[in-house]
């Protein structure tokens, strides 16, 4: 129990250190752009494919139930609400925790094990500012964009599933999909993924940057980054959903 | 010290423990400007820890560490960064940045530390440094493409990019064949002769210590049990010191 509390305390201190340093120059814009490419651009194929597949599957499942109640016309609206509110943000977050979190944890742990982080310090550079801050910022910028891409692909998957069984036009599908979606139902859930991204970047960076187990620590940092980041964003999601319902009551169905 | 010149490095009663185990216990020594001081001893006796303490990568539990008369113990990051800019560090693994080419590894210190230099000038300095260590045609290669000896030479070139007055070297020839090891030693000797750089060299290779070091220190069980020239140490009353030094003779 004590080790869990220690871990949470250390993550908190690490987050405080990051919060203090993020506004202090030099701003590592090149590193941030490079990390956005790694976290965002290189994750795009996985997110697009997952969104499309999940959109198809969700539509196939919901259609069966909706037909029983004669409500199949609501399928596009259900698809859009499901993706915008929860599936898009949470799945994009979990995919990023898996792909990017593991990468950050392993990369930083490897840099620690091979003395590259010490070499940065020895060259009078701030390794925390150079390695940790850009990764946290990049994850929190990339994840909302990936979430929008996942939402779009989820809707596309839903359309393809619908199109396979009916003659529904794309215009009508889009019209029905967005009919019951307000900005309040789209913007807050999408923006909450910036917090997911920051949490993934923070936890993975912490586990990689602070490891002191040599080569063994690389694998452990990668695995723990995925497990702990995924768990953290699921737990934080619960809190954020309640917060969004409180701030935007019209989004609570 | 020589005629009142402050030492390049001074340890005064420095102690450091890890997990309840004392690695250094009241260790004191000085290294003069331009002097090569070799630290030898069995594994796990605190040789590399001494280097890390010297550059402030870790802090001692007690004692004082001075670099050119500045006590670095408890120094803030900004001041420590200035002290570090006078020190080059060749890591045991060379610690080249995996994601940068050899050329970019060497360019990093120039791009980040000095007043903005034109790219052409940085290019010329990097190329000259690569030529100096015999890697003039390998600048485009990634660290993973280099042999152990090439990595060490590249690490040495990077450590020297800012013309440091002190060079800390951690096991420069470990894992290298005798010929390559001799090439690295030649490079260190050349640097010392050319730039009058003070050096602290941690090594297991007592032949290397004999060849490069002006003085040799022997660390054992947290204590600096002997310091002196190789002939002096060969007559030391401690059997371990004599055994270590006899390998070099």
Minimal C-alpha gap between A173 and chain B (Å): 46
Confidence band, pLDDT 50/70/90 cuts, at residue B247: low
Confidence band, pLDDT 50/70/90 cuts, at residue B245: confident
Minimal C-alpha gap between A111 and chain B (Å): 8
pLDDT (tens digit per residue) in B74-120: 898 889 988 998 999 999 989 999 989 999 999 988 887 656 778 88
Interface test with A, best of B53, B75, B76, B112 (most A CBs within 10 A): B112
- Does A122 contact B87 at a Cβ distance shorter than 8 Å? yes
Report the pLDDT value the prediction gives residue B230, as an integer from 0 to 100: 86
Report the pLDDT value the prediction gives residue B249, as an integer from 0 to 100: 54
Minimal C-alpha gap between B95 and chain A (Å): 5
Tell me the domains of chain B and their CATH numbers. 2-99+149-246 (3.40.50.300)
- Per-window interface: A 124-183 vs B, CB < 8 A: 124-126
Q: What is the DSSP letter of B165?
A: S
Is the CB of residue B57 less than 8 Å from the CB of residue A122? yes
Residue A92 burial (CB < 10 Å; 0-12/13-18/19+)?
buried
Count of residues making up chain A = 253
Q: Where are the domains of chain A?
A: 31-251
ipTM of model: 0.88
CA distances from A239 to A137, A216, B130 (A): 22, 35, 55
B78, closest residue in chain A (CA to CA): A124
Report the pLDDT value the prediction gives residue B113, as an integer from 0 to 100: 64
Residues of A within 8 A of B98 (CB-CB) are 110-111, 114, 116
pTM: 0.87
What is the rounded distance in angstroms from the CA atom of residue B136 to the CA atom of residue B153?
11
pLDDT (tens digit per residue) in B41-68: 888 888 999 999 999 999 999 999 999 9
- Does B91 contact A115 at a Cβ distance shorter than 8 Å? yes
- Output b/e per residue, A102-126; b: 16+ Cβ within 10 A: bbbbbbbbbbbbbbbbbbbbbbbbb
Minimal C-alpha gap between B84 and chain A (Å): 6
Report the pLDDT value the prediction gives residue B238, as an integer from 0 to 100: 87
Q: Of A135, A140, A115, A118, which is closest to residue A127 (Cα–Cα)?
A: A118
Structure tokens at A116: 């590259």
B189 touches chain A (CB under 8 A): no
Residues of B within 8 A of A118 (CB-CB) are 52, 57, 89, 91, 95
Q: Where are the alpha helices (DSSP H) in A97-132?
A: 102-113, 116-122, 127
B107, closest residue in chain A (CA to CA): A123
Residue-wise DSSP of B174-242: TT--HHHHHHHHHHHHHHHHHH--EEEEE-S-HHHHHHH-SEEEEEETTEEEEEE-HHHHHT-S-HHHH
Q: Of A183, A184, A202, A240, which is closest to residue A104 (Cα–Cα)?
A: A202
Q: What is the DSSP letter of A131?
A: I
Report the pLDDT value the prediction gives residue A253, as an integer from 0 to 100: 58
- Does A121 contact B98 at a Cβ distance shorter than 8 Å? no
- Per-window interface: B 123-182 vs A, CB < 8 A: 158
- Per-window interface: B 46-105 vs A, CB < 8 A: 52, 55, 57, 77, 81-82, 84-85, 87, 89, 91-93, 95-98
pLDDT (tens digit per residue) in B128-183: 999 988 889 999 999 999 998 899 999 999 999 988 999 999 998 887 888 888 88
B51, closest residue in chain A (CA to CA): A122
Choose among B55, B81, B95: nearest Cβ to A115. Answer: B95
- Does B97 contact A116 at a Cβ distance shorter than 8 Å? yes
Interface test with A, best of B19, B54, B78, B89 (most A CBs within 10 A): B89
Residues of A within 8 A of B77 (CB-CB) are 126
Is the CB of residue B185 less than 8 Å from the CB of residue B207? no
Is the CB of residue B122 less than 8 Å from the CB of residue B106? no
Q: How many A×B Cβ pairs under 8 Å?
A: 46
Mean predicted confidence (pLDDT) in B30-49: 91
Minimal C-alpha gap between A75 and chain B (Å): 48
Report the pLDDT value the prediction gives residue A221, as an integer from 0 to 100: 93
Structure tokens at B143: 């660290």
Termini Cα distance of chain B: 29
Per-residue pLDDT tens digits of chain A, which is 253 residues long: 778 889 899 999 999 999 998 888 888 898 999 999 999 999 999 999 999 999 999 999 888 888 888 888 888 999 999 999 999 999 999 999 999 999 999 999 999 999 999 999 999 888 999 999 999 999 999 999 999 999 999 999 999 998 888 888 899 999 998 888 888 888 999 999 999 999 999 999 999 999 987 778 899 999 999 999 999 999 999 999 999 888 888 766 5
Report the pLDDT value the prediction gives residue A155, as an integer from 0 to 100: 94
């Amino acid at each position: 129990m004590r080790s869990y509390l220690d871990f949470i305390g250390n993550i908190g201190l690490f987050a405080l250190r990051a919060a203090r340093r993020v506004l202090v120059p030099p701003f590592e814009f090149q590193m941030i752009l490079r990390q956005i490419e790694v976290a965002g651009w290189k994750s795009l194929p996985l997110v697009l494919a997952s969104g499309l597949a999940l959109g198809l599957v969700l539509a196939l499942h919901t259609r069966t139930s909706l037909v029983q109640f004669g409500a199949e016309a609501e399928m596009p609206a259900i698809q859009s609400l499901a993706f915008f509110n929860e599936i898009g943000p949470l799945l994009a977050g979990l995919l990023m925790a898996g792909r990017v979190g593991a990468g950050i944890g392993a990369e930083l742990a490897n840099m620690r094990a091979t003395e590259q982080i010490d070499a940065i310090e020895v060259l009078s550079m701030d390794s925390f500012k150079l390695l940790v801050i850009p990764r946290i910022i990049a994850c929190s910028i990339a994840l909302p964009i990936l979430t929008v891409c996942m939402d779009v692909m989820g809707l596309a998957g839903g359309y393809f599933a619908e199109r396979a069984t009916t003659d529904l036009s794309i215009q009508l599908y889009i019209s029905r999909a967005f009919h019951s979606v307000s900005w309040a139902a789209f913007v807050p859930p999408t923006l909450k993924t910036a917090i997911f991204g920051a949490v993934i970047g923070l936890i993975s960076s912490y586990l990689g940057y602070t490891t002191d187990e040599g080569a063994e620590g690389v694998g452990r940092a990668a695995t723990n980054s995925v497990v702990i980041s995924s768990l953290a964003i699921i737990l934080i999601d619960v809190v954020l959903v309640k917060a969004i319902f409180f701030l935007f009551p019209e989004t609570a169905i | 010290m020589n005629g009142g010149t402050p030492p390049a490095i001074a340890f005064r009663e420095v102690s450091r423990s890890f997990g309840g185990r004392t690695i250094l216990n009241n260790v004191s020594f000085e290294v003069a400007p331009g002097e090569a001081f070799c630290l030898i001893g069995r594994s796990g006796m605190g040789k590399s820890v001494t280097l890390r303490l010297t550059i402030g990568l870790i802090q001692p539990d007690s004692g004082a560490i001075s670099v050119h008369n500045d006590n670095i113990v408890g120094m803030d990051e900004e001041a420590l960064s200035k002290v570090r800019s006078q020190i080059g560090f060749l890591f045991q693994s060379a610690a080249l940045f995996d994601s940068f080419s050899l050329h970019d590894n060497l360019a990093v210190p120039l791009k980040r530390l000095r007043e903005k230099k034109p790219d052409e000038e940085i290019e010329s300095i990097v190329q000259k440094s690569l030529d100096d260590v015999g890697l003039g045609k390998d600048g485009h290669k990634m660290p993973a493409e280099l042999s152990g000896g090439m990595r060490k030479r590249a690490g040495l070139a990077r450590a020297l990019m800012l013309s440091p007055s002190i060079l800390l070297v951690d096991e420069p020839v470990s894992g290298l064949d005798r010929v390559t090891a001799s090439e690295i030693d030649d490079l260190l000797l050349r640097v010392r002769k050319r730039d009058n750089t003070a050096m602290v060299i941690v090594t297991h290779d007592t032949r290397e210590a004999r060849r490069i070091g002006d003085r040799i220190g022997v660390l054992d069980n947290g204590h600096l049990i002997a310091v002196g020239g190789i002939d002096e140490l060969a007559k030391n009353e401690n059997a371990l010191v004599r055994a270590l030094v006899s390998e070099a003779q």
